[in-house]
Amino acid sequence: MPPHDRFAAALRGFGPLGIAAIAVIIAGNLVVAPLSAVLVLAWARRSHTPWREIGYARPKSWMRSLITGVVFGIALKLVMKALVMPALGADPINQPYHYLAGNPAALPGMLFAVIVGAGFGEETLFRGYLFERLGKIFGTGPGAKIVIVALTAGLFGLAHFHDQGLAGVEQAAIVGLVFGTIFAVTGRIWMLMCAHAAFDLVALALIYWNLESEVAHLVFQ
């Protein structure tokens, strides 16, 4: 950071400007899902925050990150749908999004929301940015990371209440714990972006082809 850039220092701090930046960034998703992530990147650039601090660290292998993320995201969604959510008593049908079943006209918008809004947008906000901000408050030790994982998972869950209700909160909170733990250990976000997009693409496919109930009853009849 340039030595006399007080504006950048204020953006990274927790004074009035820093708190206002946090509020604006979080509110961005109320307009459109990827906006918060775009604002995070703008904040990182203007505040001279190193990209690696928000998880944008170059992976050892881009291809490995892609493949690992896709496979992990698919597997996690199937486990959640067939095991975890039925065990919690969730409706096998995602009612708020059931309008997508056999509805090709809705696919372009949902594909954008899943890949850009969720994969890029939510991971940048909930893992990259919030981990960085909370890390400045709680520190980076093991205990602090546990607290940060729990807090971000809770916020991630609550962010899904407005459109998916309690079941959406439960699923998102569990996924947030899984993704948050991985991010806390690796500090890299690219694999998680791929996993998140794959997770939601599988969810979309199950709804579109009307396979939700069938998968949800694979274990619990």
What is the DSSP code string of 100-131? GTT-GGGHHHHHHIIIIIIIIIIIIIIIIIHH
Lowest mean pLDDT among 30-39, 153-162, 202-211: 30-39
Mean pLDDT across the stretch 127-146? 96
Lowest mean pLDDT among 30-39, 45-54, 57-66, 93-102: 30-39
Report the number of secondary-structure helices (H) and strands (E) in the chain: 11, 0
Instruction: Report whether 52 contacts 190 (CB < 8 A).
Output: no
**Angle subtended at Cα 75 by Cα 214 and Cα 168, rounded to the nearest 5 degrees:** 65
Q: Which two tokens stand for residue 186?
A: 């690796």
Instruction: Report whether 207 contacts 97 (CB < 8 A).
Output: yes
Instruction: Report whether 94 contacts 164 (CB < 8 A).
Output: yes
pLDDT at 2: 59
pLDDT band at 102 (very low <50, low <70, confident <90, very high): very high
> Whole-angstrom Cα distance, residue 34 to residue 64?
25
Helix or strand holding residue 174 (H, E): helix 161-186
Percent of the chain with pLDDT over 70: 99
Q: Which two tokens stand for residue 164?
A: 């998916």
> Whole-angstrom Cα distance, residue 186 to residue 135?
15
Percent of the chain with pLDDT over 90: 92
Supply the Cα-derived Rg of the chain in whole angstroms: 18
Helix or strand or coil: residue 36? helix
85 alpha-carbon distance from chain centroid: 19
Question: Is the pLDDT reported for residue 36 higher than 70?
Answer: yes
pLDDT at 115: 93
Local structure of residue 59 (DSSP, 8 states): P
Mean pLDDT across the stretch 96-112? 95
- H helices of 80-129, where? 85-87, 107-112
Q: Which two tokens stand for residue 40?
A: 């995070």
The rounded mean pLDDT for the chain is 95
Mean pLDDT across the stretch 103-125? 95
pLDDT digit string, tens, across residues 14-33: 999 999 999 999 999 888 87
pLDDT at 120: 96
Q: Which two tokens stand for residue 21?
A: 């930046």
Question: Is the pLDDT reported for residue 58 higher than 90?
Answer: yes
